[in-house]
């Protein structure tokens, strides 16, 4: 399903400056997740080539494709499942898993509208910041 990850950090001006160790030390910088639309079956769906357009208040900021995530987002979910199994844990039915970012982070401010539109019939998800 279409989704947006809301990033946040205790570091000032972290977008574009923070490196992987900084983000991990800051609890991955996740402030929340916004999901939209409904669940879609993966039958007859090519996860490698689904496009994405990200807009901020109507201006295109970025484009991407699902293949940017390890060649196929299912690969990152499989990796996670295998790593969990190494420590005798598992994904459970109903867990929400984000496979990985298709674009970089963008700075938002009050009044901004962020929209991510996915191809392949997945649809769009958006949020207005207040």
| Count of beta carbons in the 10 Å neighbourhood of residue 2 | 19
> How much is the pLDDT for 81?
94
> How much is the pLDDT for 54?
95
- Rounded-to-10 torsion of CA 116, 119, 124, 127: 0
Task: Measure the CA–CA gap between 77 and 99, rounded to whole angstroms.
Answer: 6
| Inter-residue contact 29 to 23 (CB < 8 Å) | yes
> How much is the pLDDT for 127?
93
Instruction: Classify residue 37 by burial, with Cβ atoms within 10 Å: 0-12, 13-18, 19+.
Output: middle
Task: Measure the CA–CA gap between 49 and 65, rounded to whole angstroms.
Answer: 6
Counting every residue written for the chain, the total comes to: 130
Domains of the chain: 3-128 (3.90.850.10)
Stretches where the chain sits below pLDDT 70 are: 9-29
What is the gyration radius of the CA atoms in the chain, in angstroms? 16
Angle, alpha carbons 37-124-27 (nearest 5°): 85
> How much is the pLDDT for 98?
86
> How much is the pLDDT for 41?
82
> How much is the pLDDT for 91?
93
């Amino acid at each position: 399903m279409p989704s947006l990850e809301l990033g946040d950090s205790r570091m000032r001006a972290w977008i574009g400056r923070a490196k992987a160790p900084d983000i991990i030390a800051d609890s991955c910088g996740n402030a929340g997740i916004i999901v939209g639309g409904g669940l879609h079956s993966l039958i007859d769906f090519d996860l490698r080539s689904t496009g994405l357009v990200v807009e901020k208040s109507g201006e295109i900021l970025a484009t991407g494709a699902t293949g940017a995530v390890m060649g196929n987002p299912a690969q990152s979910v499989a990796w996670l499942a295998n790593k969990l199994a190494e420590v005798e844990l598992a994904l459970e039915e109903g867990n929400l898993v984000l496979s990985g970012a298709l674009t970089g982070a963008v700075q938002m401010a009050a009044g901004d509208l962020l929209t991510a539109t996915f191809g392949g019939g997945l649809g769009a998800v958006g949020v207005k910041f207040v």
